[in-house]
Structure 1
């Protein structure tokens, strides 16, 4: 009996490994894009694809569906903050900051609020509290870009890209593809 249970568990783990690798470790953008474009039935994943490819209507529809599906206030706050950042709506992000439980994500979006408001010194101070390298370098790159320091922004963007994996790498790459293509060379 135990052998059957163990065999089933091993089979499940083996089937999940490629999926988990794609979500958290993959660095090949072409493979990530192919994977994400096939996730239409999984709105939480397909949202990454829609945001990265600037599909405004699709992003709105996906966010609405996710907000209906997930009622937990902290999860809703994160989806609303993501949507606020996508639309560059400072008021939406500000309203949701207090509801985001994860310190990393709260500081990340708070930094973006300061950037959008033009308060670069406060943005730098807030960015200093972010410990995930891809997040920190991403917001610091945006600060430098807005401050007119393009070369420094490119360096930080490259560091953000190098330190990101999986879904984060895809979003970072697609963002720089439009805003800072020199960072991808």
Structure 2
């Protein structure tokens, strides 16, 4: 209903501006396009990439579970095996190329602590920063902590380093240091990435 009202208003404004020759038809259409983008897509972009409100992201994901990637994020956060399984089926149908599918398969296997053949999948991940991140994360997962630390400098994004440092400190039993890195990882992210980090560690720290 609200969406229909919005487009009715937009069409009315276009008609008025065109009939009164306030702007040329091309300018009017451009203005309408920009307004439509701002109203319809800006909130989505803000929620997915920038908001610090984890609860808002959770509601957004739950509402949009028909989208496989959003369903996967939601399922992983809440440990809903059915959502995770169904999301992966949908993703495999949607993304046919190995490099497109690789990161989702790696995320899936990390969640279930299944390290079989995961190195081959990691090699296929694009873009490079994410491949390097999962290479280091794999080293942590299999207990190669010193090698993982030596490769931290390869990680260009701050939140990636902080997440790895969180894991390293947890495995060393340094709860306080791990929490500090966790907070830095949260502070350096927004939207879906912040949501994912929050739910990964929310039960490991008393906040």
CA deviations on 1:70-94 (whole Å, 9 max, x unpaired) are 1122111111111111111122421
**TM-score, normalising length from structure 2?**
0.83
- Which one of the candidate residues 62, 74, 77 is aligned to 2:102? 77
- Distance in structure 2 (CA, Å) of the matches to 1:42 and 1:57: 15
> Which position in structure 1 is the counterpart of 2:12?
none
Secondary structure of the corresponding residue to residue 128 of structure 1: helix
* Equivalent in the alignment of 1:38: 63
TM-score, normalised to structure 1, is 0.92
Partner of 1:118: 143
2:155 alignment counterpart: 130
Whole-Å separation in 2 of the counterparts to 1:59 and 1:3: 46
For 1:51 and 1:147, the matched residues in 2 are separated by: 25
3-state secondary structure, aligned to 2:31:
helix
Q: Is the 8 A contact 1:134 1:159 kept in 2?
A: yes
The answer for unaligned runs of 5 or more in structure 1 is none
1:142 aligns with 2:159: no
Report SS of the residue matched to 2:28: helix
Deviations 1:94-124 (A, max 9, x none): 1201111212111111112111111001111
Over the residues paired in the alignment, what is the CA RMSD in angstroms? 1.4
1-structure distance, mates of 2:155, 2:88: 25
Q: Which residue in 2 is equivalent to 1:151?
A: 176
Tell me the residue number matched to 1:5: 29
Greater alpha carbon shift after TM alignment, 138-147 vs 89-98: 89-98
Do structure 1's residue 173 and structure 2's residue 198 form an aligned pair?
yes
Q: Superposition pairs for residues 35-74 of structure 1, below 5 Å?
A: 35-74=60-99
CA contact (8 A) 1:85 1:112 kept: no
Q: How many residues align?
A: 182
Q: Structure 2: how far apart are the matches of 1:171 and 1:12?
A: 30
Tell me the equivalent position of 2:111: 86
Partners of 2:146 and 2:160 in 1: CA distance: 17
